[in-house]
Structures are given as C-alpha cells and as structure tokens.
Chains A and B, each alone.
Chain A
Amino acid sequence: MASKPRNSINYGEFTITLLIRTAGYISVLFVLLISLFLIREAVPAFIKIPADSLFNTRWYPIEGMYGILPLLTGSLTITIGASLIAIPLGLLTAVYISEIAPPWTKEILKPLVEILAGIPSVVLGFLGILVLSPFLRETFNLPTGLTALTGSILLGWAAIPTIVSVSEDALNTVPASYREASLALGCTRWQTIWGVAVPSARSGIITAIMLGVGRVIGETMTVMMVTGNAPTMPDGLRTIILPIRTMTATIASEMGEVANGSDHYQVLFLIGLILFIFSLVINVIAFQISSRRIKRSERLLS
C-alpha cells in the first residue's frame, strides 16, 4: 500500500514538535522577563535614594520626596477593607450556590456571578464615582465620598466572583460519599455543609481567598477613580473614611508624566516590583496549598 515518504513526515513533525515545545516554556520566559526587567529598572532607586527617605511617610515626588509608606498602607487598608467584604460574602455565596440552591436558582446565579466577573474595572469605578460615592457621602455625612470605604466596598464586591468560582469548584470536588456518610449519621444538610463539606474543601477555599486577595491588591482603575488618591498615612479607625492612595493607583496616575530614567520613574518601577513580588508570593502559596491537597487525597483514596 502506498504510504507517505517517511522523510516528509519526519521533517514536518519534527519542526512542529519543536515549535510546540518552545511555546510550552513561554510562561516561564515571560515571568522571568518581567521580573528581570522590573528589577533592572527598580534597583537604581534603591541605590540612589537613601532607605530612610524611601521608607518615609511623605510621598511628594514634585519635591523629591519618595516615601512609599503611605502607598503601602493605602494598599493594605483597601486590601483589608475589601477582604472583609469579599471573603464572607464570597464564601457564603459559594456555599449557597453549590450546596443549597435549587437547580433553577443555580442557573440564574452562576451566570450573574460570571457577568460580574466580566465587568471592566473602569466601569465599576465609573459607577463608584457617580452612584456609590455620593450615596456614602450623604449617608454618613462625610466631607468627601472618595474614600477607602468606597474603594473597599467596590473592590470587595468585584472580587466576589473570583472567590465564588474557585470555592465552588473546591466544594464540588468533595466526594459525595463524605456528605452521604454524614447524612446517614443523622446530621442535617446544614450540619453536613459546615461539618464535612467545607472543612474538606478547605484548601481549595483558602486558594480561592488568596486569589481573591491577589485580585484586590492588583486592582488599579477602580481604586484610582474612587479612593481619592491622597497619599496619607492611616489615622486609626478613621482611616476608612479618609481618602487614600494605593500603589497601583500611584503607578497608573504618575507614570504618564515622568521622565524616562528619572528618580521618579525608577521609584515607580520599584513600587511595581513590590507589587509583583506580593502577587508572586500569594500565587506560589496558593499553588502549594492546592497541589499539596491533591497529593494527600490521592494517598487517602488509594
């Protein structure tokens, strides 16, 4: 029977396989590139600017003050505030969708959550400016509605879909036999959810929370539009109703106006590097948690 000449198969196959193998490493390539590049542009800032000036509380680039502490605390404030909203709401909604909701409700809720996930951050920021901010200002009698509170609410709510989808996946992979065993012992579904399902989905839920937090830290446009952009240090609990500024917003608003290679430019890259490292740490931890769990359950079920 006629068969294709071996040579042409081998050549073509070889080339394609080579291309595919190269492409496989592309993520590693880019992570390396990005980190190298950030380091390259940020390190001069470390060298040029004395540490006590860098870790100062005044961010005033026009006068050469590059204290990044207010930016760090700004990001921290927003992250805590948003997490306080996103984690409980996200978790509980995930539990509801995967354990309690009847199928027709699921069909409505899941697409809605996905829609929320798809709303661009600039749209959320827009709504924050026009709707949420005036509302909060009037309700709480504040001097301005562009505060950490506004940002926290908006960001927290926007991070919910991330937490919901990953948690829901985790809850869905809990073996039915676990739940059945609990119910067979006479526990109610409610007790089964909190006594069996959630604990065994623990690592997936933690992963979800970490990814949600990562999303909050990295959010740029929304915070830029609604948090007031004032690089101030926190002032006790009052901070929540004060304007603040995050690291992300700083980079976004000031990068357009800096001279290439200037001190300001390099400090902005430094801030970018800090953000990059934060997200790296969070993601690696989340990955370790989720993969360790797989190995353990493989052992359990074998």
Chain B
Amino acid sequence: MLDQHAIRQLSEVSVSVEIETPEMTLNIGPQHPSTHGVLRLVAKVDGERITDVDPKLGYMHRGYEKLSEVRTYPQIMALVNRIDWTSGYANEVPFVVAAERLLGVEPPERAKWIRLILTEMARVSAHLLFMGSFPLELGATTPLMFSLRDRERVLDVMESLTGGRFHPNFNRIGGVKPAAGAGKEMKKQVQDLPAGFLAETRDAMVKVRSTCDELEQLIMGNEIFLARTKGIGILPPDVAVSYGVTGPNLRASGVPFDLRTMTDYLPYDQVDFEVPIGEQGDSFDRWWVRLQEIRQATRIVDQAVDKIPAGPLLAKVPKIIKVPKGETYVRAENPKGIMGYYLVSEGGQGPYRLKIRSASFSNLSMLPWILEGVLIPDLLAVMGSLDFVLGDVDR
C-alpha cells in the first residue's frame, strides 16, 4: 500500500528559506525487475539519494539444510544443484568432495579432471550471464542477447555430457556419472565421455574468448557505461574482508584470494592460470575482473582438455553408501565466491547435519554499508555488479 501521508507531505512542503524534504520510504522488491529473484530492500530515500537500506531476506528460503537431513547423499546432489542456479554444477563439487573425504574414497584422476572442466565451464556460463545482466541493469539490453547466445554454446557442451543444461546432477560419490545409454552389461566397460566432447569443448572455449573480445569492445568503449560504473560503489579491501565478501567481488577490491590456488579439492595445481585482481574495487572493476576470469577459465579448460588422463570415471564404492561417523568442511571457489559445506555424519545414509556456506549471502551482507548515500540509479549499478543470486542467498 502506498504511503499517502508521505506524498501529502511532499506536496505540502513549506517554502521557507530552507525547504524541508521529508524522507520517503521506498520499498524495492520483493517483486522488482532487477533484484535477481525476490530480494526486498526497504530504502529510505531523500530525493534520489538513499540514506538507509534494510535488506529483507528469506523470500526464497527453501530449507535445503533441513531437507538434506532426511535425504541420502545421492539425493542431496540434486538439491544442491539448485542453490546457485547460475552455476549448478559448481555447487555439487564441494559437497561430493566432502562426502568422499568422510567416506575415505578417492575418485579416479579422470573424474577429477572432468569435474574441473565442468566447474570451469559453469564459471564461464555464470559469468557470461553476469556480462549480460549487469549492462541490462544500466539500461543496455544488447549485451544480454550477445552473452546469452554464446553462453548457450557452453551449456550445449555441458548438456551433451551431463544431460542437463543448468542442473547436471552429474557427480557420484567416488567419481562422476557413467555414460548414459549403455545397458547394464556395457555400463561398466563403456563409461566414458561422449565422442567428440573434448573437441567440442575446445571449440566452445574459442568462441567464448571471441565473445569476451566482443563484449569488451561493446562495453569498454562506451562512455556512458564507464561513467555509470567507474568510482561507483567502491568497496575497500578491509571492509570486504570484514564482511566476508569472497569471489570476484573480493578480488575486484585488490585482494588476490582464490581458493583454487590454495586448496586441492580439484587438480588446479596442475594447470596454469592467473588470478585477476582489480585496482579500486568499484563496480567497473567487479565487471572487469569477471571478464578476465572468463578468459582464465577458458585457459584452464583448454589445459585440462590436453591433460585429462585416461581411466575409469567411478571408483569402487558400495551400492548403498553409508558414510562413517565424522565431520568435515570443504569449501570451493565457485563463480559467486566461496561455497562451503560443513558435513556432519552419524553413520547413516544421509548427513546428520549439513551447513551450507553460500557466497551470495556473505556478499550481500555488506549491502547496507555499500548502499548508504548512493543514488537510486547507482543502487542498480552497485547491486548488479555484486552478482548475487537469491537462491544462493536464502538456500
């Protein structure tokens, strides 16, 4: 309902020496074209300037942590896909690694490399979506079409392997899913990548690189885009760290923190890549860092396609998986930031407790800090550049 009182106040502003302008409460969301889902921001605005923002979360809470407690490990794999739906595959990896560690199973090398290829392709597709959605929030519709067109190539390749564009559900505890189509007898022998998959992947990466050049030309040379993003929403490194901001948002602030270079959940130590970092930590840097990350991800995929060893896809695991008692925490560098699973097992077929640390939730936590004092148009330039997904926030 509308605050009639506020409008009346505005219309009856007393014209004295100092014009009083009462603050207006502007309710942005939960149904709003640019909140990437159902985020609700209760903003106090003074004219166009936002004086205070109060984010209301939880409109998309689906209770995945609780649901996990009554499901088996293979079933949970389908759930965690849907947390950050822009990079469904990348969500599975830390969970399956956590379960494997508790179980004491080591997946075959080939499976690890396939996981690495798919994770990086999920990163490419998630960042390409951002490349389109961020300019869209600034009013430019064309980059969206270009980036979605080429993201589809990446998704097609993923679909040819996993059977799903967004939610592959491709991991199994102890490896990845054997190739579909073969009969029961064949299944054990013919479990490998579909023919031509690696060549297609390489082609798709070439295409993605040319898309990056195209988007760079379309956007970097655009005065209006630069004017709208440079110096807007500056996030200093110390603030970013104190709010637990991770991923490209943190790296845009100049902190070279990337889990891929530090942990061994996937064989990232055997590929060569750079961690792009921004200078200022403004909206433009966040956009730029993601563009460079797409390029680095294609580099990683190219190397992985060269280096992928032959071998089985699935380790020997029992038919019914019972994870021994224990607890572990595995985190991974996902497109949106660090995603971690704290897994507690009491020895059953499913976890006793699963705590999900999602990147967007922490990235969103500094919204009141970063949005204070910005203009309404800049609200979008800042929020869009943070690249959060509400499914990842509310879980």
Q: Please determine whether chains A and B interact with each other in the same assembly.
A: no
Interfacial residues, chain B to chain A (CB-CB below 8 A): none
Interfacial residues, chain A to chain B (CB-CB below 8 A): none
